[in-house]
């Protein structure tokens, strides 16, 4: 059987791309001989990560494209036609992420067509794919202090205006709905994504197939908590939907009530770096919030080892690989009360779940962490690590993925 994995682009190293790469490598390890089809491939970033996997790059642009229109939908259709040619001859194609999902649905090929729905395209289904943010905007009138609410309120207003007229967003919305009907199967990576997909497309398989998490052989051998300094870690891209400004506000309140020094370590880069750094400088003790930027694996390990708690209140997140990865390194987890992270934290049984828009709730959760005795701390971290390895490890997820091949 010829198997293709279809993803829009391997040009940056992000969570979606790492997820696709892990799945592809697993199929390869099982002798399924997968081939990658993509519209963009950065050899320097991805060559070594996907060594041994055949890569087929679909031409993004052609001199004749303007003859068929300048709109984004026209470009999407032309690229979809070129992708369809590249996908001919396969027996099974698994698409990841929009627009690969719509392109696959529209492709007149004989292969069985499957979409692994990491999340429905949030840009063209603003309300359905962002239910928590939508509720927040309705409750606050778009006037919440957090960056995400302010930005989403503007996006939602613009989206509604475009959907009310004959615009590109409305056209892509219609194209996606029609093309997706031609997929043979849709399955999701979390119950949250499954429910969102069902609301939009009217179907999605009941069984969730979670992403493969590559756990280390063993995390730091921790015992209890560091009591002389309270260290909290955030590891994420610094962008609006990650809601890191709320974490900084919550940390500031936690720090103000703490009897000992506190540190917040922020790892990652992104467009909000300067604004987040300015916010931390205004409301936190000088020098207590450290922005590390991008770190090498060795430096990242050192920061993880130095911290006791991982806190991230990302919004409408479909999964969140960083949570089980942090659990495997022995960190206690604090996450939002919705989305994929709520599933990972098992409704609060494997960590603390809080209102993602409440700095006070985060501060309270951090205080609860340091009120625990060391025996309870060790019990909770071991339970989270064990549960995550059992649920997202390759031994659990791999057979589910191989079952997809047997269905083809």
Computed on alpha carbons and rounded to an integer, the radius of gyration of the chain in Å comes to 22
Tell whether 221 is covered by a domain.
no
Please report the pLDDT score of residue 218 as a whole number: 60
Please report the pLDDT score of residue 144 as a whole number: 85
The whole-angstrom separation of Cα 47 and Cα 49 is 6
Tell whether 224 is covered by a domain.
no
Same domain, residue pair 133 and 267 = no
What 8-state DSSP symbol labels residue 312? -
Size (the chain), residues: 408
Is the C-alpha dihedral spanning 206, 212, 213, 217 positive or negative? Answer: positive
Residue linked to tokens 């206690």: 332
Same domain, residue pair 385 and 399 = no
Whether the per-residue pLDDT at 219 is higher than 70: the answer is no
Query: Which two three-digit tokens encode residue 151?
Result: 């930005």
Q: To the nearest whole percent, how much of the chain has pLDDT over 70? A: 99
Pick from 335, 322, 401: which is nearest to 28 by CA? 401
Please report the pLDDT score of residue 408 as a whole number: 61
Please report the pLDDT score of residue 94 as a whole number: 98
Tell whether 373 is covered by a domain.
yes
Contact in structure between 187 and 96 (CB atoms under 8 Å): no
Tell whether 21 is covered by a domain.
yes
3-class SS at 309? strand
Tell whether 270 is covered by a domain.
yes
Please report the pLDDT score of residue 288 as a whole number: 97
What is the rounded average pLDDT of the residues 230-256? 97
What per-residue string of b and e applies to 281-299 under the rule 16 or more CB within 10 Å gives b? eebbeeebbebbeeeeeee
Neighbours of 160 (CB within 10 A): 12
Pick from 172, 321, 174: which is nearest to 235 by CA? 321
Chain segment 37-57, per-residue pLDDT in tens: 999 999 999 999 999 999 999
What is the rounded average pLDDT of the residues 237-252? 97
CB neighbours of 129 closer than 8 A, spacing ≥ 6? 119, 120, 121, 122, 196, 200, 316
Tell whether 51 is covered by a domain.
yes
Q: What is the CATH number of the domain that holds 301?
A: 3.40.50.2000
Of the pLDDT bands very low, low, confident and very high (cuts 50, 70, 90), residue 103 is very high
Chain segment 137-193, per-residue pLDDT in tens: 999 999 889 999 999 999 999 999 999 887 888 999 999 999 999 999 999 999 999
Same domain, residue pair 199 and 281 = no
Tell whether 114 is covered by a domain.
yes
What is the rounded average pLDDT of the residues 233-260? 97
Same domain, residue pair 49 and 188 = yes
CB neighbours of 319 closer than 8 A, spacing ≥ 6? 118, 189, 190, 193, 210, 211, 340, 341, 343, 344
Of the pLDDT bands very low, low, confident and very high (cuts 50, 70, 90), residue 220 is low
Same domain, residue pair 177 and 303 = no
Same domain, residue pair 361 and 380 = yes
What is the rounded average pLDDT of the residues 353-371? 98
Tell whether 160 is covered by a domain.
yes
Same domain, residue pair 368 and 399 = no
CB neighbours of 290 closer than 8 A, spacing ≥ 6? 263, 264, 265, 266
Please report the pLDDT score of residue 90 as a whole number: 97
Please report the pLDDT score of residue 333 as a whole number: 98
Same domain, residue pair 385 and 398 = no
Same domain, residue pair 207 and 234 = no
Please report the pLDDT score of residue 377 as a whole number: 96
Same domain, residue pair 198 and 313 = no
Please report the pLDDT score of residue 350 as a whole number: 97
What is the rounded average pLDDT of the residues 311-334? 96
Same domain, residue pair 173 and 192 = yes
- Please provide the DSSP assignment of 54-67 as one string: -EEEPPS--TTGGG
Same domain, residue pair 304 and 197 = no
Query: Which two three-digit tokens encode residue 336?
Result: 């939002």
Q: Which domain holds residue 298?
A: 230-392
Give me the number of domains the chain comprises. 2
Mean pLDDT (the chain) is 94
Please report the pLDDT score of residue 271 as a whole number: 96
């Amino acid at each position: 059987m010829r198997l293709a994995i279809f993803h829009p682009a391997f040009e940056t190293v992000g969570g979606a791309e790492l997820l696709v790469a892990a799945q592809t490598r697993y199929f390869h390890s099982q002798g399924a001989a997968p081939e990658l089809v993509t519209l963009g491939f950065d050899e320097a970033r991805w060559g070594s990560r996907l060594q041994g996997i055949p890569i087929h790059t679909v031409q993004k642009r052609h001199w004749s494209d303007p003859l068929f229109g300048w709109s984004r939908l026209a470009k999407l259709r032309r690229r979809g036609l070129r992708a369809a040619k590249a996908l001919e001859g396969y027996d099974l194609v698994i698409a990841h992420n929009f627009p690969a999902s719509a392109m696959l649905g529209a492709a007149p090929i004989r292969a069985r067509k499957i979409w692994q729905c990491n999340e429905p395209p949030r840009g063209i289904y603003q309300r359905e794919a962002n239910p928590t943010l939508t509720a927040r905007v309705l409750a606050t009138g778009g006037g919440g202090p957090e960056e995400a609410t302010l930005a989403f309120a503007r996006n939602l207003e613009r989206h509604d205006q475009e959907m009310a007229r004959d615009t590109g967003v409305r056209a892509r919305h219609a194209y996606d709905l029609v093309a997706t009907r031609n997929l043979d199967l849709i399955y999701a990576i979390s119950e949250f994504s499954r429910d969102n997909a069902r609301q939009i497309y009217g179907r999605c398989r009941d069984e969730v197939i979670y992403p493969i998490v590559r756990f280390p052989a063993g995390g730091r051998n921790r015992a209890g908590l560091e009591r002389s300094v309270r260290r909290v870690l955030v590891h994420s891209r610094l962008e609006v939907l990650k809601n890191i400004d709320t974490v900084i506000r919550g940390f500031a309140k936690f720090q103000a009530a703490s009897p000992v020094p506190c540190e917040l370590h922020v790892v990652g880069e992104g467009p909000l770096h300067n604004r987040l750094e300015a916010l931390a400088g205004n409301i936190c003790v000088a020098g207590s919030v450290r922005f590390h930027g991008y770190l090498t694996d060795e430096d990242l390990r050192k920061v993880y080892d130095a911290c006791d708690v991982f806190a991230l209140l990302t919004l409408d997140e479909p999964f969140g690989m960083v949570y089980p990865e942090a659990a495997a390194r022995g960190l206690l987890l604090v996450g939002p009360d919705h989305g994929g992270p709520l599933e990972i934290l098992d409704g609060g049984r494997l960590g603390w779940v809080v209102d993602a828009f409440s700095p006070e709730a985060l501060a309270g959760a951090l205080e609860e962490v340091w009120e625990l005795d060391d025996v309870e701390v060790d019990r909770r971290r071991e339970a989270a690590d064990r549960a995550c390895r059992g649920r997202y490890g390759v031994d659990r997820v791999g057979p589910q993925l191989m079952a997809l091949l047997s269905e083809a």
